[in-house]
Amino acid sequence: MAVAVIPLAYFAFNTLYAVCATPAGILSDRVGRRPLLAAGYGVFALVYVGFAAAPDAVTVGVLFLVYGLYYALTDGVARALITDLVPPSLRATALGAFSTATGLALLPASVIAGALWQSVGPWAPFAYGAATAALAALLLLVTSMQTKTV
């Protein structure tokens, strides 16, 4: 992707995220948090499969736009799920712990992605990310069938 196009790609990504985030939150209130998170992780998996196999920059650009949908389906909904699962007196603590855990997980994830990129090829971290996202989606679907409250 040309360097000059990158700001436009981020603009499109953020626009799609902003347009879809509120409807995703409304939908999570109706269908439940876990199924919507599972759908978001499914979108992530499909986008990463696409990144692994993308033949050109145009395909990567379109996939990057769709990546904004993943964020819209997961960002606020994950935080809403956390607040649903803990007592009101612990909500801020739980959200802080979630943000801390997410941030800490980025280091090993980045190391694994870099090692896969270097030792296997540029497609490998995307295939690995797609597989882990698909597993997360499956686990969320299984847990949503077991618990209908959230």
Cα distance between residue 118 and residue 112, in whole Å: 10
Cα distance between residue 92 and residue 86, in whole Å: 10
> pLDDT tens across 102-113, in order?
999 999 999 999
Residues in the chain, total:
150
State the CATH number of the domain containing residue 107. 1.20.1250.20
| Residue 38 tokens, joined | 């599972």
> pLDDT tens across 44-61, in order?
999 999 999 999 989 999
Domain that holds residue 43: 3-146
Span 129-139, average pLDDT? 95
Q: What pLDDT shows up at residue 147?
A: 66
| Total domains, the chain | 1
Is it the case that residue 134 has pLDDT exceeding 70? yes
Span 82-107, average pLDDT? 96
